[in-house]
Amino acid sequence: MLVSYRWLSEYVDLTGITAKELAERITKSGIEVERVEALDRGMKGIVIGHVLECEPHPNADKLRKCLVDFGEGEPVQIICGAPNVAKGQNVAVAKVGAVLPGHFKIKRAKLRGEESNGMICSLQELGIETKVVPKAYADGIFVFPSDAPVGADALEWLGLHDEVLELSLTPNRADCLSMIGVAYEVAAILGRAVKLPEAVVKENDEMIRDYISVRVEAPEDNPLYAGRIVKNVRIGPSPLWMQARLMAAGIRPHNNVVDITNYILLEYGQPLHAFDYDRLGSKEIVVRRANEGETIVTLDDVERKLTDNHLVITNGREPVALAGVMGGANSEVRDDTKTVFIEAAYFASPVIRQAVKDHGLRSEASTRFEKGIDPARTKEALERAAALMAEYAGGEVVGGIVEASTWKEEPVVVTVTLERINGVLGTAMSKEEVAAILANLQFPFTEDNGTFTVHVPSRRRDIAIEEDIIEEVARLYGYDHLPATLPVAEAKPGGLTPYQAKRRRVRRYLEGAGLFQAITYSLTSPDKAARFALETAEPIRLALPMSEERSVLRQSLIPHLLEAVSYNRARQVENVALYEIGSVYLSRGENVQPAENERLAGVITGLWHAHLWQGEKKAADFYVTKGVLDGLFDLLGLSDRISYRPAKRADLHPGRTAEIALDGTVIGFVGQLHPAVQKEYDLKETYVFELALSELLNAESEAIRYELIPRFPSVVRDIALVVDDNIEAGALKQAIEEAGKPLLKDVALFDVYQGDRLPAGKKSLAFSLRYYDPERTLTDEEVTTVHERVLAAVEEQFGAVLRG
């Protein structure tokens, strides 16, 4: 809402407070003033001049040579390029020495050999936006009415010695979509009175019922419909002050009748519509829902298809307006209009919102209906419009108002105690302070022993309950006066849940291990949604995605992590190690919330370790990645319950992928990207993993219990076992551990060999076995007995023989 400071001062006395100060006070009290703009934009020396003569420029087709009188001194010659300049006009002239917006100084000049002593200005040149400049002057200079005094300050006549406050209104403050509403707000802040405009309608002795009748067939959508007839209007420009106010508020002036409806819309917040009565085509107005398939050509010359969801104003046969949104072209007020039917109605918000949505049409009128108007002011606005049309369009107001109404004003009464106000706010206000605030708001109230009974005026539809009153009191009391305290309550310690605490440890571990945390988008494209997913379900698709790229919810974190790697590679960052913790979304059927499972995923590519001057260099590989996970399982105390099994999964290298199981249930995987996928994402050798983090964090791990630190020496025996090359090291190790129980404490693989010194199809796996008894020193014989048992077991199970 754009609010002219000078216009506002007609309703509230603003003496002693500048526009800027006012803006600050309004902002502090609850409505944000986004900016205050001085309309004169630093302009100086612009006067109204009279064009005495106007003839073609001798050396230029598009220029005119004008002689302009300023009412004092000698008339001067000015060269003007506007196509509409003509002899006898009163125009805005920037004299030599004048300043236009942007510090543009006017100097004496020669244009194509002819002297020019100033500039005849268009409204745009005076800083007015093209979209609000009246159409007649949009492509040329502005022409003042003939009674504008020559030599006077042109800016004053255009209302530009003014400042405009731009209010940013929250949806609850639709009452401030009108000058009167803003006036009440400002009056409450300043503690001053509101002066309302007066409307005295002089009626002729005809009766409106002879002209028109109204019937509302959809009273829920339209609880109140009122109208008046003004006849013998003369369509022409509205008074300049009115045009200036409309332009300052961002509305383009058209003609006196339309301008008056818009002026009232701004003043009262009540949208009006003016029909050309003679072109209505009947003597009745019927308000109803549109028939399916019905059409209307609106004022913007667009044919619109209507449905049962839209409310229309009809002449009993066909629509003449899309109610509350835009009038029809067929009944539009034109230059030859003689009789006007003014509509002042209260349309309910939902039906208007639907029309705005369906037709993509938002207007000053529809915005106000959508947010809710004050029906108590509807007829007042109608009266004021009729009075102004009589005054400024030379019309005669026909006797009476035509009306169809089911609307009843329901009084809103709210009670609130002083104790509650202070209790909720933490203040120590007195009865008198609260009473003063309510009085400034002009809310009628009574007070009895600290209980306030407030009669909320209909203009404040946002106020219905105790808390609303408390808020009014608080904002006008001033939040700066609110003390700062802390809640008084039993002290309970805060903290993380065990799950949250473990998750943080997991993050810190991965970061310490060299991975950076990524956060990627949850929305993805259909082809990526289920890719790599540990578990898949029906894709969950947005009803109205903004793009196909972000149209379904992800089921794996890996696709976007790979995109991040591509992104980095495209920027010469080749070595990338990322992890992400986030949810995947698995459908459980339509119209139910999906399962949101927390996952941990990672991607590693490029050099894992480089310390080149000492000759160290290690590229990321499967075992680097697996090592990170092994550490994680150690951290969570789950290592003994985790197993890796070779696996084939889509998009992963068939020979370099393992599924990871916790207690035998698969909870994740680790592997190299399939070379085809690497190519697709333009990646080099890349390793990925994804784990069901929630499963890992929810798995109970044993509490730490101290074990005796070894007091006796342990015995270490190294063995190299030759087996078929398809034997898995993990299985062999497990067999050794089983067979060596309980004295065998550690088994560590330290060498894998395959090559010339072994028969084809064989490999050698070397393990270091550590035997230990916490009670005593082991004898060589004891160790040998167990060790033999181990060797026998692996020979039996795997055909493993000691390497000679």
Partner 1 sequence: MKERLHELEREALAKIDQAGDLKALNEVRVAYLGKKGPITEVLRGMGALPPEERPKLGALANEVREAIQQALEAKQTKLEEEEIERKLAAEAIDVTLPGRPVRLGNAHPLTRVIEEIEDLFIGMGYTIAEGPEVETDYYNFEALNLPKGHPARDMQDSFYITEEILLRTHTSPMQARTMEKHRGRGPVKIICPGKVYRRDTDDATHSHQFTQIEGLVVDRHIRMSDLKGTLREFARKLFGEGRDIRFRPSFFPFTEPSVEVDVSCFRCEGHGCSVCKGTGWIEILGAGMVHPNVLEMAGFDSKTYTGFAFGMGPERIAMLKYGIDDIRHFYQNDLRFLRQFLRV
Please state, in angstroms and rounded to a whole number, the distance separating the CA atoms of residues 116 and 107. Answer: 9
CB atoms within 10 A of CB 334: 11
Please state, in angstroms and rounded to a whole number, the distance separating the CA atoms of residues 487 and 10. Answer: 47
**CA-only gyration radius of the chain, Å:** 42
Segment holding 244, helix H or strand E:
helix 240-248
Phi, psi (degrees; rounded to nearest 5) at 418:
-60, -40
User: Among candidates 595, 603, 594, which has minimal Cα distance to 573?
Assistant: 603
Return the residue of 44, 507, 649, 770 that touches partner 1, per CB under 8 A. 507
Return the residue of 200, 592, 708, 709 that touches partner 1, per CB under 8 A. 592
Q: For residues 245 and 438, is the Cβ–Cβ distance under 8 A?
A: no
Q: Name the DSSP letter for residue 675.
A: H
Please state, in angstroms and rounded to a whole number, the distance separating the CA atoms of residues 461 and 451. Answer: 22
544 touches partner 1 by CB under 8 A: yes
The interface region with partner 1, picked from 384-392, 571-579, 691-699, 768-776 by CB under 8 A, is 571-579
721: β partners: 765, 802
Please state, in angstroms and rounded to a whole number, the distance separating the CA atoms of residues 524 and 529. Answer: 6
698 touches partner 1 by CB under 8 A: no
Smallest distance, partner 1 to C-beta of residue 522, A: 6
Q: Which is nearer to partner 1, 497 or 665 (CB)?
A: 497
Q: Where are the beta strands (DSSP E) in 647-776?
A: 652-662, 665-673, 686-692, 715-724, 744-753, 762-771
Smallest distance, partner 1 to C-beta of residue 521, A: 5
Q: Which of residues 240-299 bind partner 1 (CB under 8 A)?
A: none
Smallest distance, partner 1 to C-beta of residue 103, A: 22
Q: Which is nearer to partner 1, 574 or 738 (CB)?
A: 574
Q: Which of residues 402-431 bind partner 1 (CB under 8 A)?
A: 423-427
| C-alpha 509, offset from chain centre | 37
Q: Is 413 exposed, middle or buried (CB count within 10 Å of its CB: 0-12, 13-18, 19+)?
A: exposed
Return the residue of 110, 135, 571, 705 that touches partner 1, per CB under 8 A. 571
Apex 294 CA angle, 289 and 300, nearest 5: 95
Sort strands 686-692 and 595-605 into parallel, antiparallel or unpaired. antiparallel
Smallest distance, partner 1 to C-beta of residue 568, A: 5
How many residues interact with partner 1 (rule CB under 8 A)? 100
The interface region with partner 1, picked from 317-325, 612-620, 635-643, 702-710 by CB under 8 A, is 612-620
Smallest distance, partner 1 to C-beta of residue 469, A: 10
Smallest distance, partner 1 to C-beta of residue 424, A: 6
Please state, in angstroms and rounded to a whole number, the distance separating the CA atoms of residues 696 and 499. Answer: 10
576 touches partner 1 by CB under 8 A: yes
770: β partners: 716, 746
Q: Which of residues 110-169 bind partner 1 (CB under 8 A)?
A: none
Q: Which is nearer to partner 1, 78 or 177 (CB)?
A: 177
Sign of CA dihedral 144, 148, 150, 151: negative
Return the residue of 204, 213, 451, 522 that touches partner 1, per CB under 8 A. 522
Return the residue of 293, 360, 512, 804 that touches partner 1, per CB under 8 A. 512
Judge whether 335 is annotated as a binding position. no
Return the residue of 146, 449, 591, 726 that touches partner 1, per CB under 8 A. 591
Can you read off the two tokens belonging to residue 638?
């789950």
Would you call 486 helix, strand, or coil by DSSP? coil
Can you read off the two tokens belonging to residue 416?
């609130």
Smallest distance, partner 1 to C-beta of residue 411, A: 21
Q: Which of residues 17-46 bind partner 1 (CB under 8 A)?
A: 27-32
| C-alpha 523, offset from chain centre | 18
646: β partners: 658
435: Cβ contacts below 8 Å, ≥ 6 apart: 445, 447, 452
615 touches partner 1 by CB under 8 A: no
448: β partners: 451
Smallest distance, partner 1 to C-beta of residue 159, A: 30
Q: For residues 653 and 627, is the Cβ–Cβ distance under 8 A?
A: no
Q: Which is nearer to partner 1, 45 or 602 (CB)?
A: 602
Return the residue of 291, 349, 536, 714 that touches partner 1, per CB under 8 A. 349
Please give the biggest Cα pair distance in the chain: 131
513 touches partner 1 by CB under 8 A: yes
Q: Which is nearer to partner 1, 520 or 625 (CB)?
A: 520
Return the residue of 60, 436, 564, 729 that touches partner 1, per CB under 8 A. 564
Sort strands 576-586 and 744-753 into parallel, antiparallel or unpaired. unpaired
Q: For residues 90 and 145, is the Cβ–Cβ distance under 8 A?
A: yes
Q: Which is nearer to partner 1, 523 or 696 (CB)?
A: 523
Judge whether 718 is annotated as a binding position. no
608 touches partner 1 by CB under 8 A: yes
Alpha-carbon torsion angle 636, 639, 642, 647, nearest 10: 100
Judge whether 471 is annotated as a binding position. yes
Q: Which of residues 368-387 bind partner 1 (CB under 8 A)?
A: 370-372
Mask for 658-697, x = binds partner 1 (CB under 8 A):
----------------------------------------
360 touches partner 1 by CB under 8 A: no
Return the residue of 73, 147, 198, 543 that touches partner 1, per CB under 8 A. 543
Return the residue of 219, 594, 631, 730 that touches partner 1, per CB under 8 A. 594
Mask for 616-645, x = binds partner 1 (CB under 8 A):
x-----------------------------
Q: Which of residues 465-504 bind partner 1 (CB under 8 A)?
A: 465-468, 470-471, 474-475, 479-480, 482-497, 500, 504
Q: Is 49 exposed, middle or buried (CB count within 10 Å of its CB: 0-12, 13-18, 19+)?
A: buried
**Core vs surface per residue 81-90: b (16+ CB within 10 A) or e:** ebeebeeebb
Return the residue of 20, 231, 234, 550 that touches partner 1, per CB under 8 A. 550
Smallest distance, partner 1 to C-beta of residue 415, A: 13
450 touches partner 1 by CB under 8 A: no
Smallest distance, partner 1 to C-beta of residue 544, A: 7
User: Among candidates 170, 173, 197, which has minimal Cα distance to 185?
Assistant: 173
Alpha-carbon torsion angle 461, 462, 464, 466, nearest 10: -150
Judge whether 700 is annotated as a binding position. no
The interface region with partner 1, picked from 75-83, 147-155, 313-321, 520-528 by CB under 8 A, is 520-528
236 touches partner 1 by CB under 8 A: no
515 touches partner 1 by CB under 8 A: yes
- Residue numbering of the annotated binding site for Mg(2+): 462, 468, 471-472
- Residue numbering of the annotated binding site: 462, 468, 471-472
